[in-house]
Amino acid sequence: MSFYRSSSSDFSMTRSATPLWLAGVLSAFLLAGCGQANKDAAAGAAPPPAQVGVVTVALSDIGLTTELPGRLEASRVAQVRARAAGILQKRLFSEGSDVKAGEALFTIDSAPYAATYASAQASLARAQANLEQATSLAQRYQPLVKANAVSKQEFANAEAAQKQAEADVAVGKAAVQTAKITLDYAAVTAPISGRIGRALVTEGALVGQGEFTQLAVIQQINPMYINFTQPAAEVMKLRKALEAGQLKRASGDEAVKVRLVLEDGSVYAQPGRLLFSDLSVDQTTGQITLRAEVPNPKGLLLPGLYVRVRLEQAQVRNALLLPQQAVTRSAQGDTVMVVAADGMVAPRKVKVGESQGSQWVILDGLQAGEQVMVDGFQKLRGPAPVKPVPWTGSTAAAAAAAPAKAAAAPASAAKN
């Protein structure tokens, strides 16, 4: 009985002591939590400045590049035609290959023309023999007529026969030359150097009968021509700006050079040169036609290919190029965000000119050395300073990668 009471008293003492121990532990945890919260609050009170991408203003003369649609055209095109009638016997070239001027391409049955040539040569030989006989007779009569050994009429007849024989020789020579030309036409040659297409006729076909049959086409594709058009209104606007002094003419070698943008968006490696612009405006389209020439040594460019032509026609003084994302355009005007030396950001009105690809030409409103925001607008939080870094087109990606690296560092430390 006594044992039971002592046990219950001990148990009562243990129950009364336990809450005091738990209270101490909980108080320690609460104090630690409050301290951490105070630290977090202190850290949140002064966050690091947001990192934004900027470009530094550098004023210069900016070339106004115009991009116009155009088509490629072979610089020379020649049709290979049969100039002699006959049966096509043989094709001597590979379709799609490069040929040289004067190279044999086809052969036409030349037997009839060879016979005609031989007959013309024989006729010429007979005429020459007659000329020799007539000349000999006239020379023999010449001293005899002075001695009255022959009559003057006979001498006159001898001289006339000599001149007629000379004429017959001339006709014979022309006939031989004509027969030789026709015989040579039986061997069809390339009129120009270039790349030949497919054969339009096959062996065994009768060609040149009544008309000059087209056999193939040769195109000279090095260099190539680019025919492109520009609206007449743009040309007049450009000329007025040049006369008013708002723009100046493009100078240097780039003034006459053009660049080709292919259908896949890539830029052709070799520049071309402007040849001429048409003197009249197309009445149906209101366009002015221009032509440029571009080298094509590897044959990458093909006739009929659609291209975009970039041409520098004028320059703007003391201007700069800004990415289009840096400019805010609205009905109230165009503005950019300028970062001051203390890191504060303020809007600035600017004058925007033409677009150059993905950039705007800024004509007025900025000074050399100023920093213009291009990236990081979503990080602006009221009148707080920012940390400008040079914009390279990937500033946003770098800024997004920084928090991920910071989060990965504690995790790796915890593992260790």
Q: What is the CATH number of the domain that holds 167?
A: 1.10.287.470
In a domain, 267, yes or no: no
In a domain, 139, yes or no: yes
| 296-328 residue pLDDT tens | 998 889 999 999 988 776 777 778 888 988 899
Q: Give the integer Cα–Cα distance in Å for 180 and 18.
A: 132
In a domain, 190, yes or no: no
> Are 65 and 353 within 8 A, CB to CB?
no
| 147-187 residue pLDDT tens | 888 888 888 998 899 999 999 999 999 999 999 999 999 99
Give the pLDDT score at 61. 77
Q: Which domain holds residue 151?
A: 110-185
In a domain, 171, yes or no: yes
In a domain, 274, yes or no: no
In a domain, 377, yes or no: no
In a domain, 241, yes or no: no
Q: Tell me the CA distances in angstroms from 196 to 92, 162, 212, 218, one per residue in order.
A: 12, 53, 18, 4
**pTM, two decimal places:** 0.59
User: Which stretch of DSSP H or E encloses residue 115?
Assistant: helix 111-146
Domain count, the chain: 1
In a domain, 364, yes or no: no
Look at residue 362 and tell me whether its pLDDT is greater than 50: yes
The whole-chain average pLDDT of the chain stands at: 80
User: Half-sphere exposure of residue 214, counting CA atoms within 13 Å on the CB side?
Assistant: 9
| 98-124 residue pLDDT tens | 999 999 999 999 999 999 999 999 999
